[in-house]
Amino acid sequence: MNICVIGVGYVGLVAGTCLAESGNDVVCADIDAAKIAMLNANQIPIYEPGLEELIERNAKEGRLRFTTDLDSSIRDAEVIFIAVGTPPARDGSADLSAVFEVAQRIGKNLNGYKVVVDKSTVPTGTGDRVEAIIKAESKSSNFEVVSNPEFMKEGAAVEDFMKPDRVVIGAPSDMAYEIMRRIYEPYVRTENPIIRMDRRSAEMTKYVANSMLAVKISFINEMANICEKVGADIDAVRRGIGFDRRIGFQFLFPGVGYGGSCFPKDVDALVRSASQNGYEPKILAAVQEVNQSQKRIMVDKIREHYGKRLSGLHIAIWGLSFKPKTDDMREAPAIEIVNGLLDLGARVRVYDPVAMEPARKIFGNRVEYGDNPYQTLEQCSGLVIVTEWNEFRRPNYQRIRQLLLEPVIFDGRNIYEPHDMEKLGFTYYSVGRQPVKKG
Ligand SMILES: NC(=O)c1ccc[n+]([C@@H]2O[C@H](COP(=O)([O-])OP(=O)(O)OC[C@H]3O[C@@H](n4cnc5c(N)ncnc54)[C@H](O)[C@@H]3O)[C@@H](O)[C@H]2O)c1
């Protein structure tokens, strides 16, 4: 099939590449000329495990192309995926200007029946608006608009696209659904379902999925905070509840709050969309409030530990991306933590295995940048773990002790065991567990 993917970001680049991998002819189009030039020079603008090899192979075999020429890409395609960004507007609602711009472009270039697939995360009813724009521009009804929300996780995006838990398709007709089913068939050979529904429900499904996950995170974070106060251990509690099949273990890990380009903006956008339609969500408002304060808890613990001494001390940070295996720092808790420490007069040294470039754009010369985890610790009076990259899980503890001026670890992801830390002679703070205090 001739497919055009418009918007070559985390979603568009992965989706386009994986669609080429199953034999489609795919052109990925974007208005960002620098990004397209990079891709045409065999450079990958994002970090995503497994993506580079796939791009290289499919580009070499001629199934995957990158261009800034949106018009001819639209004209040549039978199916057009819209995968542009839908960032938060000032009022928290989703900014749909890029989606509508693309819809206009499609309308101008409509030259025969096409399926227009909205893969960007958009509020319920956006498909109707996209349809109206294309119709107005083209003076034709020879197209259909499908909602096909994307559930991939950054860090495992290729795997998620190639083997999705489920595919959701909001199709207005059997013909459009059949085309979509054919596109997705190669990815659901393990019998995972393609779920057909109406377009509005498909749009809503994406927001409900992300909101549910955000609810789980804020819920366990709140329980962790209570555990600390009442002298309980959230890890034990987590195990105690997780075997109940109605509850389960997934996504119930306490930490420093959720970040990334999806949960914060999608929860915000659903709150706005609900309120524009006459309903004020109460659970979602609480989820956002808990998350905001959770991003501050490590800063509060650090401030309490050092007191006034903190001003002028060096503090090391391991992990900056909003989660492991990605370089994405959008809304990352690390931003709040670093800024909080700087505000308190601390000097901050940061290290991340892949997110150093985005970090430089965010922090500039306000922080120092480490070359590797251990060198980052030199002259520092404490270490804060913000992102649970695998390489931080089993470090050389003796070396950490030797390098830190004071053996203090603030573990925002509970990757170490308190009794190990006690034996190793660290003062150790984590989330929802009692602190270990040396001496
Ligand atoms: N990042 C994720 O993990 C993820 C997962 C599921 C869904 N989503 C959703 O998918 C959409 C895209 O997210 P992303 O993270 O890939 O965004 P991104 O910011 O990484 O990429 C968006 C791309 O769209 C391009 N673009 C913007 N306006 C354009 C226009 N008018 N014409 C052509 N290209 C244009 C930008 O240049 C950019 O390359 C969003 O709605 C997001 O909520 C993201």
What's the pLDDT score for residue 122?
98
Q: Does the beta carbon of 102 lie inside 6 Å of ligand 1?
A: yes
282-325 pLDDT per residue, tens: 999 999 999 999 999 999 999 999 999 999 999 999 999 999 99
Whether ligand 1 lies within 6 angstroms of the CB of 214 is answered as no
Q: Decide: 155 in ligand 1 pocket, CB within 6 A.
A: no
* pLDDT tens readout for residues 48-87: 999 999 999 999 999 999 999 999 999 999 999 999 999 9
Predicted model pTM: 0.95
Closest atom, ligand 1, to C-alpha of 86 = 41
Give me the residue label for tokens 């703070």: 429
**Contact 85 CB / ligand 1 (< 6 Å):** yes
Structure confidence by residue, pLDDT tens digits, 100-141: 999 999 999 999 999 999 999 999 999 999 999 999 999 999
Cβ–Cβ < 8 Å for 204, 212 = no
What confidence score (pLDDT) does residue 439 get? 64
Reply yes or no on whether the pLDDT at 10 is more than 80: yes
CA–CA separation, 123 vs 94, rounded Å?
7
pLDDT tens-digit profile of 169-189?
999 999 999 999 999 999 999
Interatomic CA distance for residues 100 and 107, integer angstroms: 10
CA 168 to centroid of ligand 1, rounded, Å: 19
In angstroms, the CA 19 to CA 186 distance is 10
Taking the C-alpha atoms of residue 123 and residue 363, their distance in angstroms, rounded to an integer, is 32
- What is the Cα Rg of the chain in Å? 24
CA angle 242, 243, 248 (to 5 degrees): 45
Q: In this predicted structure, what is the pLDDT of residue 372?
A: 97
Two tokens, residue 266: 């999608």
The answer, yes or no, to whether any atom of ligand 1 lies below 6 A from the CB of 101, is yes
Q: Which two tokens stand for residue 380?
A: 């520092």
The response to whether residue 413 sits with its C-beta less than 6 Å from ligand 1 reads no
- Give residue 133 CA to ligand 1 midpoint distance, Å: 20
Please name the residue ranges forming H helices in 194-353.
199-230, 234-242, 263-276, 283-294, 297-306, 333-343
pLDDT of residue 332: 97
Residues with catalytic function:
262
pLDDT tens for residues 406-436? 999 999 999 999 999 999 999 999 999 999 9
pLDDT at residue number 438: 79
Core vs surface per residue 38-70: b (16+ CB within 10 A) or e: ebeeeeebbbbeebbebbeebbeeebbbbbbeb
Confidence of residue 190 (pLDDT cuts 50, 70, 90): confident
- 3-state DSSP call for residue 433? coil
Quote the CA–CA distance of 349 and 338 in Å, as a whole number.
9
Q: Whose CA is nearest to atom 33 of ligand 1?
A: 30
Q: Using one digit for the tens of pLDDT, what is the confidence trace for 219-261?
A: 999 999 999 999 999 999 999 999 999 999 999 999 999 999 8
215 Cα: distance to centroid of ligand 1 (angstroms) = 24
The amino acid sitting at 107 is: G
Mean pLDDT of the chain: 97
Percent of the chain scored above 90 by pLDDT? 99
Contact 425/437 with Cβ under 8 angstroms?
Answer: no
Distance in Å, CA 45 to ligand 1 centroid: 13
Angle of helix 199-230 versus helix 283-294 axis, rounded to 10 = 50
Report all structural domains of the chain as residue ranges with CATH numbers, in order of start.
Answer: 2-196 (3.40.50.720), 207-292 (1.10.1040.10), 295-429 (3.40.50.720)
